[in-house]
Amino acid sequence: MGMKNVCLGAAVVALMCTPAAAASRLVSVGYTTPSALHGLRVVQRIDALHTAEVRVPNLRGERQLRARPGIRFVQRTQARRDTGGPAFPTAAAAAVPEWQWPALHADLVPAWVSAAASRITIAVIDTGADTTVPSLAAKNPITYNIVTGTSTVHDDVGHGTFVASLAGGSISDPNGMSGFGGDAQLMIIQANRGGTGFSDIDEANAIVWAVDNHANVINLSLGGSQTSLVERSAIQYATDHGVLLVAAAGNSAEQGNPTVYPAALLGESGLAVGAATAAGTRAPFSTTGTYVDVLAPGVDVLGALASGVSSGFFSPIATPGATGNYALGSGTSYSAPEVSGAAALVWAANPSLDAAGVAAIIEATASGEGRWTQDLAFGELNIAAAVQRATGGPAPQLDKPAVLAKPVTMSKPKAHAATTTHRVKAPRAKIKAAPRHAHP
């Protein structure tokens, strides 16, 4: 992919690695007023969070920055990688490449709900997108590039294009691929700085931009094994503004099953999504934990293929009669946007819902029928049932172990809360950006 230090592990393992060390280093800095940044090498600033990314020359410079007046905290930036992986198509997938739509009963959603979704905006924060592919071009998406500060986006990886097509691909072309969000407005925010690499501050900057530009649902098909104050603050900012966050749970169940962020931070107003197979079971690679909410197809999923991109992480597939090029991909990266699209439909069906209400309906109508298990979470998404519940069904009844609010520390991830029974998912405590000098 033309990027140094990309971790090319086994299939469907998340791409989460750390860039090579350099003489200078990037840190995220919390400040009280902008004047506290005077004289510093500021790479980017997030005014809404009073946070900036700063380049320091060495460890000594980092220590001096910690002691600077008006600086609330200094932390090393955290790597974020996409949560997709190579596809190995099965015979069944090759025969019926669009299997994920009937599997989630998306074909049973009333047409009026799909049309009403036009008032909902889904933001995809990712590697950008090839907006010339038919399923995206027809949506005329809102675009923004965090790195350049312009509306010009591209996708040298293909991941963002694939994800965006699943979340909000156009449903108007009978010969093209339909996304799960009906007529929802699509917002594409490019946050990578080459290859598949992100940082937590790039992610946070993109989240704030999406919120400030009226996104209703934000899809985060990216992750890492460490969190930070800036990431937590951005998640809280979105939650405080009534935005529903949907994040991939990660692909590391077979590599020690580490906690994955930002999925583990979402709380009751968000949805952490694992990957399901065509049989509705959890994909072996899909990360588990008390923070995981639902499953959606994540093995041999059909999505749009960006032009001119290496197919190393996708398997191109023939779709006779269809407009555009398509491929199969595997990973929780591709499960999350299906849920983001479903959330847009649920919200369109009942605009009086808030983000927590949309999440609760999706959880309650999944295949687990309101009961949570460690292996399947609330079960596989059922879009038609969620939409039906949103239009007047009974209030969701959920049975899930509590997800405890994690303390704000930047060392190794904390252990999950032990699995209990007959407890409703607890809301996550608000994260206060208190002055501190934590170190990841």
Structural domain contains residue 35: yes
Structural domain contains residue 375: yes
Q: How far is CA 351 from the centre of its chain?
A: 23
CA distance 371 to 361: 13
Structural domain contains residue 251: yes
Tokens 């992919």 -> residue: 1
Structural domain contains residue 417: no
Q: How confident is the model at residue 229 (pLDDT cuts 50, 70, 90)?
A: very high
Neighbours of 44 (CB within 10 A): 18
Report the percent of the chain where pLDDT is more than 90: 61
Structural domain contains residue 374: yes
Q: Do 358 and 246 lie in a common domain?
A: yes
Whether 404 has a pLDDT exceeding 90, the answer reads no
pLDDT at res. 318: 80
Which H helix or E strand runs over 73?
Answer: strand 71-76
Q: Name the token pair of 428.
A: 């996550």
Q: What is the pLDDT of residues 389-401, one digit of tens each?
A: 999 866 555 666 6
Q: How confident is the model at residue 353 (pLDDT cuts 50, 70, 90)?
A: very high
Of the given ranges (18-22, 113-117, 431-435), which has the lowest mean pLDDT?
431-435
Structural domain contains residue 239: yes
Stated length of the chain: 440
Structural domain contains residue 146: yes
| Catalytic residue list contains 159 | yes
Query: Is the pLDDT higher at 278 or at 414?
Result: 278
pLDDT at res. 121: 98
Whether 153 has a pLDDT exceeding 50, the answer reads yes
Q: How confident is the model at residue 332 (pLDDT cuts 50, 70, 90)?
A: very high
Amino acid residing at 197? G
pLDDT at res. 124: 98
Longest dimension (CA), the chain: 64
| Catalytic residue list contains 126 | yes
Q: Do 57 and 106 lie in a common domain?
A: no
Name the active-site residue from 228, 315, 333, 335.
333
Q: How confident is the model at residue 13 (pLDDT cuts 50, 70, 90)?
A: very low
Q: What is the pLDDT of residues 61-81, one digit of tens each?
A: 888 899 999 999 888 888 776
Whether 16 has a pLDDT exceeding 70, the answer reads no
Structural domain contains residue 400: no
Q: Do 157 and 237 lie in a common domain?
A: yes
pLDDT at res. 117: 97
Query: Which residues make Cβ contacts (< 8 Å) with residue 12, sequence separation at least 6?
Result: 85, 86, 251, 283, 285, 299, 330, 331
pLDDT at res. 42: 92
Name the active-site residue from 28, 156, 159, 330.
159
Q: Do 69 and 97 lie in a common domain?
A: no
Q: Do 43 and 72 lie in a common domain?
A: yes
CATH number for the domain spanning 228: value is 3.40.50.200
Q: Do 310 and 259 lie in a common domain?
A: yes
Whether 168 has a pLDDT exceeding 50, the answer reads yes
Q: Do 204 and 341 lie in a common domain?
A: yes
CA distance 290 to 124: 25
pLDDT at res. 88: 54
| Cα angle 127-129-131, degrees, rounded to a multiple of 5 | 170
Q: Do 289 and 210 lie in a common domain?
A: yes
pLDDT at res. 280: 93
User: Domain tally for the chain?
Assistant: 2
Whether 377 has a pLDDT exceeding 50, the answer reads yes
Most confidently modeled of 2-16, 97-111, 202-216, 319-333?
202-216
Overall pTM surpassing 0.75 (yes/no): yes
Whether 276 has a pLDDT exceeding 90, the answer reads yes
Residue-range definition of the domain harbouring residue 72: 25-77
Residues 72 and 408: beta-carbon distance below 8 Å: no
Q: Do 147 and 205 lie in a common domain?
A: yes
Query: Which residues make Cβ contacts (< 8 Å) with residue 95, sequence separation at least 6?
Result: none
pLDDT at res. 176: 74
| Catalytic residue list contains 375 | no
Name the active-site residue from 126, 155, 202, 293.
126
Q: Do 136 and 61 lie in a common domain?
A: no
pLDDT at res. 85: 58
Q: Do 146 and 255 lie in a common domain?
A: yes
